[in-house]
Amino acid sequence: MKYLLVTALCLINFSLFAQKPCEYATNVTDSLGTYKITKEYLVSEKVFGGNSSYIFYSLALTDGIPTLTVQLIQKSKDFMKANCFDKDSKIYLQLQNGKIVTLNHIDQENCGSMVRDDKGFDNRVKSGVFVFLKENYEDLKKSPVSLMRIKYLTDVEDVIIRKEFTAELDGKMYYPETYFIENLRCVE
């Protein structure tokens, strides 16, 4: 009887602490190299009145270099300010252990594109690719993120990273605070 109880407890512990498998949108290895990119993951959602904005992350590995792709989607019937990414743009991630991790934007200017939908909403979609610096890369695997600061060409935006939320967009539960802890291993 003791043996069965110990075995059951071990199995429960393994299932509770097991890492979930990596989900890739693309995973290619050929004669040119390796390219992996994780599926997009919603890390911020703001819905107020007729305005909404969403921030998605995806991690990529291109020939051994890990990067973070950040996609921002804004939806509104009102005027939307265009914030652009440029060579000096950065993302600062404040961790719960007090450290700050900096990611540099690649040298490619992007102000996004505007699309009007059939309901009269303007939708601005922009994305940026950011490279991890070696200094605090390991800290992202150990400590949850509490705040993200995005430095654009002419503006700065702070985004509070929540522990968990149920998205109005798709009704799914998201855990953005531990995104890097759960997913950085997928691009190493």
Is the pLDDT score of 150 beyond 90?
A: yes
The dihedral built from the CA positions of residue 13, 25, 184 and 31, taken in this order, carries a sign that is: positive
Q: What is the pLDDT of residue 67?
A: 93
Contact 58, 69 (CB under 8 A): yes
Average pLDDT of the residues of the chain: 86
The amino acid that residue 58 corresponds to is S
Give residue-wise pLDDT tens across range 115-140.
888 888 889 999 999 998 887 788 99
Q: What is the pLDDT of residues 88-112, one digit of tens each?
A: 999 999 999 999 999 999 978 888 8
The confidence score (pLDDT) of residue 19 equals 64
b/e per residue 74-90 (b: at least 16 CB within 10 A): bbeeeebeebebbeebb
The mean per-residue pLDDT over the stretch 137-157 comes to: 93
AA letter at 126: K
Distance CA 63, CA 127 (A): 21
| Structural domain spans, the chain | 22-187
pLDDT tens digits for range 13-55: 444 445 678 888 888 888 777 788 999 999 999 998 888 999 9
Give this prediction's pTM: 0.84
Supply the pLDDT for residue 40: 95
Instruction: Provide the pLDDT confidence category of residue 161 given band limits of 50, 70 and 90.
Output: very high
The predicted structure's pLDDT at residue 158: 95
